[in-house]
Amino acid sequence: MTARTIKRMPGSRELIAGHGKDTMETTLVIMAAGMGSRFGSGIKQLAEVGPSGEIIMDYSIYAAKEAGFDNVVFIIRRDIEEAFRLAIGDRIEKYIPVKYVYQELENLPEGYSVPEGRGKPWGTGHAILSCLGKINNPFLVINADDYYGKEAFRVSHEYLVNLPEDSRGQYCMAGFVLGNTLSDNGKVTRGACVVEDGLLTGVEEMFDLRREGDVVVGRKEDGTPVEISPESTVSMNFWGFTPDFLPELEGYFKDFLDKEASVNPLKSEFLLPSIVGSMIEEGRAKVAVLPTNDRWFGVTYAEDKPVFMKCIRELIAAGVYPEATFR
């Protein structure tokens, strides 16, 4: 699925928890621990983009709540907690239950320690592992600084709550149209998906993607030039999981620390696409790709912000969102 394969470590803890649409809540998990290095100074997740001071997360949470998600878990770093609570947490908790978990470099399994000189976070897989023991129901994972529209939340919630009781390894991913995710202000990286019979079978990272006429051009990880259709399906880190995923993740993380982190202790990353890819290859997971035609927005570049703000004003005028969300 990716250039890197992570093998599951035997003996990880098992979680046996039934779930069904009549008995189990659903959770929105927002990864918000990162800082915006390419967006200039400040925390890009907290940049105001809406007419009433909304940030991107306001619109994600609004869409998730409307779709039926019952609560929100924010994954943050402790050093941004005060600013984060002021910008969104204190407002949101008046409308939907909120929890905080903390992604910390030192959050490692027993017997492991942070390599000397390591300052880089362990990656998105490690961020979600912070939720182990705190979530016992189906959950959706998104990035804090991405705007996904509404359809992805609706179809993901419908998928998760309609899974059979005691489902294990049946996950989902929102599949976005590549052309709806490109930036006019610079090159981007996207995960191009291989989909067979509605299931994800592979994702290949494509780098430096940009429009060129009727196609999108870029390169593979090894530098090979690529030309792909703007109608291609891509992954934007929008994943739906059942609760068994978290103890599985713990086993994979131990294996990652024993292998990849021991070879590259300062820069190796434990990333969700690689983990899910390994589970698919090993027959431990099936991932339904749920198509969405909504436009994706991010603030990868500072110039992206006014474009997104214009889009939000148009959506408000069309009645998709209210003039003020959680205000």
- 294-313 pLDDT, tens per residue? 999 987 677 888 989 999 99
Instruction: Provide the pLDDT for residue 34.
Output: 74
* Residue 205 counted as domain residue: no
The total number of structural domains in the chain stands at 1
Which range of residues forms the domain containing residue 127?
27-170+237-286+295-317
* Residue 304 counted as domain residue: yes
| 22 pLDDT higher than 50 | no
Confirm whether pTM is higher than 0.85.
yes
CATH number at residue 312: 3.90.550.10
| 212 pLDDT higher than 90 | yes
- For 37-62, what is the mean pLDDT? 76
Parallel, antiparallel or unpaired: strands 188-196 and 225-228: unpaired
Closest CA to 71 of 98, 31, 100: 98
| 11 pLDDT higher than 80 | no
CA distance 210 to 111: 45
Q: Which of 2-6, 21-25, 76-80 has the lowest mean pLDDT?
A: 2-6
* Residue 56 counted as domain residue: yes
* Residue 7 counted as domain residue: no
* Residue 127 counted as domain residue: yes
Closest CA to 246 of 7, 15, 3, 2: 15
Enumerate the β-bridge partners of residue 142: 30
* Residue 58 counted as domain residue: yes
* Residue 147 counted as domain residue: yes
* Residue 189 counted as domain residue: no
- For 150-160, what is the mean pLDDT? 98
Higher pLDDT, 35 or 165: 165
Q: Which of 33-37, 63-67, 126-130, 184-188 has the lowest mean pLDDT?
A: 33-37
